[in-house]
Amino acid sequence: MTDAKVDDQITQDGMSDEEIVRQANDLARQLYALRGYSVREGYRFDRATHPHEREAWAAAVLAFEILRQTDVEDALANSDDPSDDAVMTAGGWRVI
């Protein structure tokens, strides 16, 4: 990866797009736990299909927008995560 590419991926607050997505997922996990649910560490709420998990993701995205003026969905779209081409389904991970 070139230095220019790295510079493009760092936001004003010094976080990469991948870090923003990771932190938003961490926050979603904590919000989900408030409902009494738990998921494995590293679970991707941004790919969830269950309504409660989607709600936790939406709340985390909103919190980032309000508190940090950070567009998590934009960071997600710009993310270089190689697993971005997979989604969680009821039967497991599926490549799209």
Kindly report, residue by residue over 39-58, the tens digit of the pLDDT: 999 999 999 999 999 999 99
Burial of 68 (0-12, 13-18, 19+ CB in 10 A): middle
Half-sphere exposure (CA, 13 Å, Cβ side) for 89? 8
Evaluate whether 45 touches 58 at the Cβ level (below 8 Å): no
Query: What pLDDT does residue 25 have?
Result: 97
For the stretch 59-93, pLDDT in tens is 999 999 999 999 999 999 998 665 544 554 455 54
Give Cα 41 to chain centroid, integer Å.
13
For the stretch 4-17, pLDDT in tens is 444 445 665 688 99
Evaluate whether 64 touches 72 at the Cβ level (below 8 Å): yes
Residues in Cβ contact with 72 at an 8 Å cutoff, skipping those fewer than 6 apart? 20, 21, 24, 60, 61, 64, 65
Whether the pTM exceeds 0.85: the reply is no
How far, in Å, CA of 86 to CA of 5, rounded?
24
